[in-house]
Chains A and B, each alone.
Chain A
Amino acid sequence: DSGVTQTPKHLITATGQRVTLRCSPRSGDLSVYWYQQSLDQGLQFLIQYYNGEERAKGNILERFSAQQFPDLHSELNLSSLELGDSALYFCASSGVTSPGNTIYFGEGSWLTVV
């Protein structure tokens, strides 16, 4: 168990809908990362937050947004969903943003868009 908790584990929704994925980082970790894993794109970095502030952006679509709350949990909001958004979404966390810090991943949230 990495200590990173993600909910829900599985989610099925229709095209055009909006969903929210939730993440609780490991105790004491200030950085939260979101990744998308799909068969065709592999593991793609979406966005990083550090202590409530956006720190880095990767290949995140404009339809997607995220935030990190004062209690350090994070949410990834996916809107106007398309079939191609079906993927496994990972949250990960680490301590201070030193490049040598290990990033620990949650079990992921499986999103199926039908």
Chain B
Amino acid sequence: AQSVAQPEDQVNVAEGNPLTVKCTYSVSGNPYLFWYVQYPNRGLQFLLKYITGDNLVKGSYGFEAEFNKSQTSFHLKKPSALVSDSALYFCAVRDKGGADGLTFGKGTHLIIQP
């Protein structure tokens, strides 16, 4: 069975500083990894995904994520945080079978302080 862990319930970052939201995964084969963001009272918005190839994936709103197979991690990063980045971030995984949609982590609240 596939699973995702987001070890931090909340991450606090000052505006302008780099941010990292952590994610580790467990799948039986090669993983397909996704990041989504949820703003208050809104749906999930797709940010980026890793399927294969370059370990550094670039996505929407200046976000990027680094796939590390040996550490089974897929951390979300941004070089300079904005107050508007404050939201709930979800990491998700799908294995090669892909039959069961996405398995999500519990989410990490990202708070960017002015």
- Which residue numbers of A lie inside 8 Å of B, CB to CB? 2, 4, 33, 35, 42-43, 45, 48, 55-56, 58, 90, 92, 97-100, 102-108
Q: B52, B102, B104: which contacts A42 (Cβ < 8 A)?
A: B104
- Structural contact, B43 and A56, CB atoms closer than 8 A: no
Contacts of B49 in A (CB 8 A): 100, 102
Leading 10 A-B pairs by shortest Cβ distance: A99-B98, A105-B44, A100-B51, A43-B104, A107-B43, A33-B101, A105-B43, A56-B100, A99-B94, A99-B32
Please give the distance in Å from A99's CB to the nearest CB on chain B.
3
- Which residue numbers of B lie inside 8 Å of A, CB to CB? 32, 34, 36, 42-46, 49, 51-52, 90, 94-107
* Inter-chain residue pair count (beta carbon < 8 A): 61
Give 18 A-B contacts (CB < 8 Å), ordered by A residue: A2-B46, A35-B101, A45-B100, A45-B101, A45-B103, A90-B44, A92-B44, A92-B101, A97-B98, A99-B95, A99-B96, A100-B52, A100-B98, A103-B34, A104-B46, A105-B43, A105-B44, A107-B42
Q: B32, B36, B98: which contacts A105 (Cβ < 8 A)?
A: B36
Contacts of A100 in B (CB 8 A): 32, 49, 51-52, 98
